[in-house]
Amino acid sequence: MSDFAPTPFDIPSDAGGKDLGIFLPIANGGWILSKNKPELDGSYAYNRQCAVLAEEAGFDFVMSMSKFRGYGGETHHWDSSLDPVVLMAALSEVTSKVKCWTTVHTILQNPAVVAKMLATLDQVSNGRSGLNVVTGSYKGEFSQMGAWPEGVDHDARYDLAQEWITAIKRLWKEDSVTMDGKYFQLEDCQSWPKPEKRPFLVCAGSSQRGMRFTSEEMDAIFLSGAEPEELARASHEAKADAASLGRYVRTYSMMTVVFGDTDEEAEATAKHYAEGFDEGALHGMMRAYGFLDAEIGKENAFTKKARSSFMAAYVAGSSQTVIDKLTELFSVAETDGLMLIFPDYMTGIPKFGREVLPVLRERFPGKVKVGNHG
Ligand SMILES: Cc1cc2nc3c(=O)[nH]c(=O)nc-3n(C[C@H](O)[C@H](O)[C@H](O)COP(=O)(O)O)c2cc1C
């Protein structure tokens, strides 16, 4: 555990509680590769409703990813996706409490452009903005638009990201920034408005280099992993690494929740999704991840896991089972929050808000804040 205190961002983890958020389905199909799942069109109308429901249900944040190329297949998985910055500006206008976190790829956008985008989002959202910083990992997504930096390998892309975020942080504070970096050069670069408060920064790097970048520059990390023990190890490692640099990093993970009135019903639903597994979309995903064409169509550990059809960890059960699993997760892993995915957000968000969230708040209350009135 870390001795360092988190910078407050008006979220439960400021005081040891759990930050609960929604991963918005901004790309069609959400996070289930199946022909049998409920239709998720990735439209603005659907995402708007998600954000409104998330706020009503008492969630702390909504986050959108950034995607430029889908996986195809019979379901055309992720072939259509919204721009996350424009989207979060709009969602900031239809909400007033929930934090609105967007995503930007560091290899795509000039830091001075992003400094201004986020300062704008900060005003529109009245201080609720946040940024998921992603380097860009999948070549085809960027080479299709001539934006893949050849000769800049995985770790070097994090060096680039580090210069990028350094430039942005300076532009948010300083009147004029001059910086002669390897990747970015700023010469008397000026950027107003400044955000009232620095936007919340999060990264989902799972590599050693990605984790180090997060320890140095970010407020939170999304850990990959499903099992509580696995997440406990990753969370302790991330916090210890940040602490070695005199910083505090919050740790989050992801969970897909498949509700049923009974566990049997929920498990049957999960099985139904698996039976409709979209093999073509799997091949598209493998191509995006850089599997050699010769490997595609063969069985390996990756395809075996993918065949559940869930792209993230999932729990299928009654509300009580979901409460038990998430209680175990937080108790064992000691993570600071969770970002949720639902097969059908329209029913999943309100049900979670009514039946699960109040129990988690009670079980993991954090410290009561004192001294608010001086
Ligand atoms: C919660 C979460 C959100 C992510 N969002 C995006 C995204 O919007 N766009 C993207 O290209 N990659 C996204 N990623 C991938 C990560 O940024 C990261 O590249 C990946 O986890 C591999 O880690 P590494 O970059 O350290 O190798 C996301 C990953 C997670 C777990």
pLDDT tens for each residue of the chain, 374 residues long: 556 788 999 999 999 999 999 999 999 999 999 999 999 999 999 999 999 999 999 999 999 999 999 999 999 999 999 999 999 999 999 999 999 999 999 999 999 999 999 999 999 999 999 999 999 999 999 999 999 999 999 999 999 999 999 999 999 999 999 999 999 999 999 999 999 999 999 999 999 999 999 999 999 999 998 999 999 999 999 999 999 999 999 999 999 999 999 999 999 999 999 999 999 999 999 999 988 888 888 999 899 999 999 999 999 999 999 999 999 999 999 999 999 999 999 999 999 999 999 999 999 998 755 444 33
Query: In Å, how far from its chain's centre is CA 353?
Result: 20
Cα 336 to ligand 1 centre (Å): 19
Cα 320 to ligand 1 centre (Å): 31
- Predicted confidence at residue 41, as pLDDT, reads 98
* Contact criterion met (CB below 8 Å) for 249 and 202: no
- Predicted confidence at residue 371, as pLDDT, reads 43
- Predicted confidence at residue 155, as pLDDT, reads 98
- Predicted confidence at residue 297, as pLDDT, reads 87
Counting ligand 1 atoms within 8 A of each CB, the residue from 206, 216, 221, 231 with the most, and so the one to mutate, is 206
Task: Return the residue whose CA atom lies nearest to atom 6 of ligand 1.
Answer: 65
- Predicted confidence at residue 2, as pLDDT, reads 57
- Predicted confidence at residue 368, as pLDDT, reads 58
- Predicted confidence at residue 366, as pLDDT, reads 82
DSSP letter for 58, please: T
Give domain 12-363's CATH architecture.
Answer: Alpha-Beta Barrel (3.20)
Cα 120 to ligand 1 centre (Å): 24
Cα 213 to ligand 1 centre (Å): 13
**Where does residue 330 rank: exposed (0-12), middle (13-18), buried (19+ CB within 10 A)?**
buried
- Predicted confidence at residue 227, as pLDDT, reads 96
- Look at residue 222 and give its three-state secondary structure: strand
Q: How far apart are CA 371 and CA 373, in angstroms?
A: 5
- Predicted confidence at residue 3, as pLDDT, reads 62
- Predicted confidence at residue 231, as pLDDT, reads 98
**DSSP line for 324-359:** HHHHHHHHHH--SEEEEE-SSHHHHHHHHHHHTHHH
- Predicted confidence at residue 373, as pLDDT, reads 38
Pairing of strands 185-189, 177-180: antiparallel
Nearest CA among 110, 300, 286, 88 for reference residue 200: 88
Atom of ligand 1 nearest to the CA of 138: 11
Task: Return the residue whose CA atom lies nearest to atom 9 of ligand 1.
Answer: 66
What are the tokens at 124?
A: 């529109």
